[in-house]
Amino acid sequence: MSMNVVDTIDQWVEVKNVLVSVSDKQGLAGFIPRLLAINSGIKIYSTGGTFTAIQKILGPAGARNLVQVSDYTGQPETQGGLVKTLDFKIYLGLLTETYNPEHQQDLKRTAAVPMDMVVVNLYPFQATIAAPGVTVEKARGNIDIGGPCMIRAAAKNFIRVAPVVDPSDYEMVIAVLKAGGGKTDLALRYRLATKAFAHTAEYDRAIGEYLTKQNYADQVAVCYQLR
C-alpha cells in the first residue's frame, strides 16, 4: 500500500473536538474553561480520572461539552484502565487528513469525528522508579501505552492536529486560539509536534534504561510466581 503524500492543508484549523487524558492535571482547571470561552461548542472527549476532573471543573452546565471516550467508542474501559483509548474511531479521528475523500468517507461510515487537539501527558514512570523500594512489577504497571500512541498519532498529523503534552504550553495555545478566532495555525501545531516527539522519546528512553539496569534474578524473576 502506498503512503499518502499530502500537498494541501489548512493553515488555520478550527478546534471543535479535543481529546484530553492527562496524568498531570496541573493547569487543567484554568485551561478547559478558557477553551470553552473561546468556542462554547467544543466537544471534549475524555477518560477515567481526567473525565471526572473535568466534570468537577465544568459543573452541571458543562455536561453538553463533555463526552466519555467509552460512550464515544462503544467500548467500556477494561479493568484497571488497561485499555481506554486504543480504538479505531480514536485513531481515525487523530490521523484523518482533511482533503482526503476516502478518509472523510471513513469518518462518515464509522460516525467518528476528527480530533483537532490532543491534550495528553503520560503515566509518571520516572517518578515511580525514583521512589524507594519500587519493584519491576510496579514500574511495569506504570508504563503508559495509550498515551504515547495518541501523542504520536496527533504529532504525526500536525498538518491538522495540535498535540499538547506540557501544561506549561497551555498559555501559548490559548493565546493562538484567541488570536485565530478559535483556530490553531500550522506554526503552533508544528512546534507542539516537535515537543511531543521529544516527550515520547524521553519517556521510552527512561523505560529502556531502567529495565536494562535491573538484574534478572534479583529484581525481575522474584516479582512473580513462575508457573
Average pLDDT score over residue span 170-184: 98
Percent of the chain with pLDDT strictly greater than 70: 96
**What integer pLDDT is reported at residue 80 of this predicted model?**
64
| 65 is a domain residue | yes
Any domain includes 3:
no
Instruction: Give a yes or no: residue 7 inside a domain.
Output: no
Within-domain flag for 99: yes
The 10s digit of each residue's pLDDT in 87-127 is: 889 999 999 999 899 989 999 999 999 999 999 998 778 88
d(CA 109, CA 175): 35
Residue 41's domain comprises 12-223
216/154: higher pLDDT: 154
Distances (CA, A) of 198 to 155, 193, 204, 219: 10, 9, 10, 29
C-alpha to C-alpha distance for 94 and 114, rounded to whole angstroms: 6
Report pTM.
0.91
Question: Does residue 61 belong to any structural domain of this protein?
Answer: yes
Is 5 part of a structural domain of the chain?
no
Residue 4, in any domain of the structure: no
* Residue-level length of the chain: 227
Measured CA to CA, the distance from residue 130 to residue 107 in angstroms comes to: 43
CATH number at residue 168: 3.40.50.1380
Count of the separate structural domains present in the chain = 1
208-221 burial by CB neighbour count: b if 16+ within 10 A, else e? eebeeeeeeeeeee
1 lies in some domain: no
